[in-house]
Amino acid sequence: TIYLGAFAHCISLANLEICARGAIGVDEQGLIQFVEKEISSPSDVTTKHPSWASAQIVSVDDGFFFPGFIDTHTHAPQHPNTGLFGKTTLLDWLETYTFPLEASFEDTRKAGRIYGNFVARTLSHGTTTCAYYATRHVEATNLLTEICLERGQRALVGRVCMDRLSPEYYRDADIESAIRDSKACIDYARKVDEKGEIVRPVVTPRFAPSCTAPCLAELGKLAREEGAFVQTHISENTGECELVKEWFPESESYTHVYDEAALLTERTILAHAIHLSKEERRLIKERGSKISHCPASNTALTSGCCPVRELLDEGITVGLGTDVSGGVSPSILEEARHAIWTSRFVAMSAPSAPVATLNNAAKLSTAEALYLATRGGAAVVGLEEKIGGFDVGKEFDAQMIRLGSVPEAGDYEGTFGDEGAGGPVDIFGFESPEEKVEKWVYSGDDRNCAAVWVRGRLVHKTARYKV
Ligand code: GUN
Ligand code: FE
């Protein structure tokens, strides 16, 4: 298949490459075989690549192709709680909203309905790879694994472990059963996707307050034995940090609690990381662990503003996470916007004073936020060689973004909402390709996401997708 038309992707943290007349050749295995950045006409492509003369053409003329988004942290079972948080903060939010809902996933049929809906929803927002927390239930967790595999969404799926903090009715009875059940989910994922090409298991201690030190240590051992990824939360809320200090008095810091359990590996995804000390961040960097930045959730639960610029400057690998239902949207596009707004709040919170003292260095650019949403996220989930951008040899995970041309005056009736116009981003015809991308980032949504591919397989399409 040849994907013909404009495309954009991040080539480095600060560099967004936009090609107005591009062509991407993808073979039957979903591998990118060529990338042409400046073609003069469609026939130009087959002149350059004669063996592709009979290839299928998928073209976009009112938008562009963009790499699939990577969500490095979200909770699939919390989908029905989206928007429900009131004025709570993390610990009372967990107790009031989260634990009761997650506990109900004992009911596997209910789990199937919600998981099916959530995976479809994240795909429709262009998320081609997603790191999911499930619940503590083996059957429901395995169902999520199956759904991702069937729908063709790359995923990390984790059975959540917790042997304290949560109410008795939603807790691992003991460490042995926590490890046995986690192992059962790992084995299942490896049985249904032997090579882990689409779905991989991830060892998931909920967070330090939910696990005793011996439980964390056993999970660290399990991750090492299985060569598996680890995901957990860290330093999200100051009340949580106080609890960790109190419950792990021997440990030097929150980060040390995980390190002492051998849970800080190159395959570890730490969500939030707001209130870390410089020394903790140094340790995370040294261990090669990655950070999932979840700004929408951090604002909703008033957890704090993560200083992402500092993390990036220190050389830590960062991606974005929607953290549903701490966050209220399954959209990584929206999360990128939140990352940009949060960086501006950090910039404005420098000593309140004249504009001259704004901490401009703290601000993320549009390009940087898109990098976190794609290549940064790919590195967080260990797939930087395979996905995140349109490079020869990478796998084609992509979304077709279509923008809406503005109808002539008097022409609105019958045009507005048509598939030709439709979508929230209005294009007047005079925008540069760079401006079109900016408009999409700041005012686009899932209505602009016409189709989605994973490894060249079409995994989502709308009425706006035409071949
Ligand atoms: N910390 C422990 N569990 C959770 C959770 O479900 N969501 C968020 N945002 N933080 C957590
Ligand atoms: Fe979370």
Give distance in angstroms: CA of 132 to centre of ligand 2: 9
Dist. CA 36–CA 21, nearest whole Å: 8
For domain 2-67+389-461, the CATH architecture is Roll (2.30)
Q: How many CB atoms lie within 10 A of CB 464?
A: 20
Q: Which ranges of 125-270 does DSSP label H, i.e. alpha helix?
A: 138-151, 175-192, 213-226, 238-247, 254-260
75 lines ligand 1 (CB under 6 A): yes
323 lines ligand 1 (CB under 6 A): yes
Grouped pLDDT means (10 residues each) for the chain, 467 residues = 98 97 98 97 94 96 96 99 97 98 98 98 98 98 98 98 97 98 98 98 98 98 98 98 98 98 98 98 98 98 97 98 98 98 91 69 96 98 98 98 78 52 78 96 95 98 85
Give distance in angstroms: CA of 363 to centre of ligand 1: 26
73 lines ligand 1 (CB under 6 A): no
pLDDT at 427: 87
pLDDT at 426: 83
ipTM field: 0.99
Q: Vertex 216, ends 318 and 142: CA angle to 5°?
A: 75
| Candidate from 257, 322, 323 with most ligand 1 atoms within 8 A of CB, to mutate | 323
Cβ pair 335, 122 in contact under 8 A: no
> CB neighbours of 338 closer than 8 A, spacing ≥ 6?
295, 296, 299, 327
Strand partners, 22: 5
Give distance in angstroms: CA of 377 to centre of ligand 1: 19
Strand partners, 127: 69
233 lines ligand 1 (CB under 6 A): yes
> CB neighbours of 253 closer than 8 A, spacing ≥ 6?
277, 279, 280
235 lines ligand 1 (CB under 6 A): no
Atom index in ligand 1 nearest the CA of residue 323 equals: 9
Q: What b/e sequence results for 114-141 when a residue is b if at least 16 CB atoms lie within 10 Å of its CB, and e otherwise?
A: bbbebbebbbbbbbbbbbbbbbbbbebb
Give the CA-trace dihedral at 114, 91, 343, 404, to 10 degrees. 20
Give distance in angstroms: CA of 336 to centre of ligand 2: 17
pLDDT at 96: 97
pLDDT at 302: 98
Q: Measuring CA to CA, which residue among 50, 63, 1, 55 is closest to residue 462?
A: 63
| Candidate from 211, 236, 325, 338 with most ligand 1 atoms within 8 A of CB, to mutate | 236
Q: Measuring CA to CA, which residue among 100, 118, 210, 214 is closest to residue 157?
A: 118
Q: Vertex 299, ends 296 and 300: CA angle to 5°?
A: 85
Residue whose pair of structure tokens reads 């507005």 in the numeric block: 416
pLDDT at 308: 97
Give distance in angstroms: CA of 213 to centre of ligand 2: 20
What is the domain partition of the chain in residue ranges?
2-67+389-461, 69-380
Dist. CA 211–CA 206, nearest whole Å: 7
| Candidate from 90, 101, 238, 335 with most ligand 1 atoms within 8 A of CB, to mutate | 90
| Cα Dmax for the chain | 72
Q: Has this prediction a pTM greater than 0.90?
A: yes
Give distance in angstroms: CA of 378 to centre of ligand 1: 22
pLDDT at 414: 52
Residues around ligand 2, an ion, CB closer than 5 A: 323
Looking at domain 69-380, what is its CATH homologous superfamily?
A: Metal-dependent hydrolases (3.20.20.140)
98 lines ligand 1 (CB under 6 A): yes
Give distance in angstroms: CA of 326 to centre of ligand 2: 7
| Candidate from 74, 75, 88, 93 with most ligand 1 atoms within 8 A of CB, to mutate | 75
Strands 404-405 and 426-427: parallel
pLDDT at 413: 56
